[in-house]
A = this chain, B = another copy of it.
Amino acid sequence: MDIATFFGVVSGFSLVLLAIKMGGGLLWFWNAPSAMIVMGGTIAVTLINYPISDVLSVVKVLKNAFLYQVPQPTAIVPEIVELSKIARREGILALEKQAKKMKEAYLNKGVELAVDGMEPDAIRGILENELIFTEDRHKKGAEIFTIMGTYAPAMGMIGTLIGLVQMLMVMDDPKNIGPAMAVALITTFYGSLLANLLFLPIAGKLKVRRDDETKYKELIIEGIAAIQLGDNPRVVEQKLHTYLSPSERALIPKKQTEQ
């Protein structure tokens, strides 16, 4: 997933640079006050809009968007079905040994609570609450980028208005109007570029990832509930398969027969 993000950003900016290069010099599109207003202004406004701790967490969020991969639900379904077989054969306490081997922390937590003998409803409550607050934290990351994608073009427009007023105030020779207006437009260009090629699509990606992770964790909650109910492993499998697309389901049976 990180490759798509990375490739998209690089190719998007390359296309813009190429188009600039084809029609004239790159330097025409560099203007320090414009960059200052759009980037500085967007950061300033984000600091008014969000607590500083939230803004700093953006760096971590950004790293996540490039590096971290949401685990595939296809990997966890056979593991849960296997747990349900053990629980049915040897009782739920037998899962204690399994819990230590698990890589997925969320599944591990749920299984440990079940082994501890907590009621199914209480476990579901704790796991869902954790899911909701994890979602909330991820949502804030997407929100901050959306806000930056909203303010960047606004800052661009403010910068262009400043440039236009300055140009019009000293307008005497129509010949000079061209370059001055070009400079004024560059601020709008910066704001539009940052918003549409960076902030908004990254906010979109963070939202998609959050949805994928939520679906993944809901599958685990459902699986633990089914194990506690003592469901037949075949029923467990059928319940969990509803969380998968037909193509994902096609991937699983092979693995299952290997076990």
Q: A residues engaging B (CB < 8 A)?
A: 1, 3-5, 7-9, 11-12, 15-16, 18-20, 22-24, 28-29, 33, 36-37, 40-41, 44-52, 54-55, 113, 118, 122, 125-126, 129-130, 133, 136-137, 147, 151, 154-155, 157-159, 161-172, 174-175, 177-179, 181-182, 185-186, 188-189, 192-193, 195-198, 200-202, 204-205, 208, 212, 215, 235, 238-239, 242-245
Contacts and interface: CB of A to CB of B under 8 A. Distances in A.
Given A8-B46, A16-B162, 17 more contacts: A1-B52, A8-B45, A15-B40, A16-B41, A28-B169, A29-B165, A45-B197, A48-B201, A48-B205, A133-B215, A133-B245, A137-B245, A158-B196, A161-B192, A171-B177, A171-B178, A172-B178
Contacts of A205: 48-51
Contacts of A182: 164-165, 168-169
> What is the count of identical protomers in the complex?
5
B48 A5 contact: yes
A15 B44 contact: yes
A179 B125 CA distance: 66
A197 B37 CA distance: 12
A216 to B, nearest CB: 12
Contact of A192 (B15, B158, B169, B239): B158
A202 B147 CA distance: 13
Given A158-B192, A178-B170, A36 B23 contact: no
A58 to B, nearest CB: 13
A181 B193 CA distance: 20
Contacts of A29: 162, 165
B46 A244 contact: no
Given A46-B8, A52-B3, A197-B45, A243 B129 contact: yes
Contacts of A23: 33, 162-163, 166
A8 to B, nearest CB: 3
Nearest to A244: B133
A54 B165 CA distance: 37
Contact of A37 (B8, B16, B163, B169): B16
Q: Which of A12, A118, A182 has the most CB of B within 10 A?
A: A12
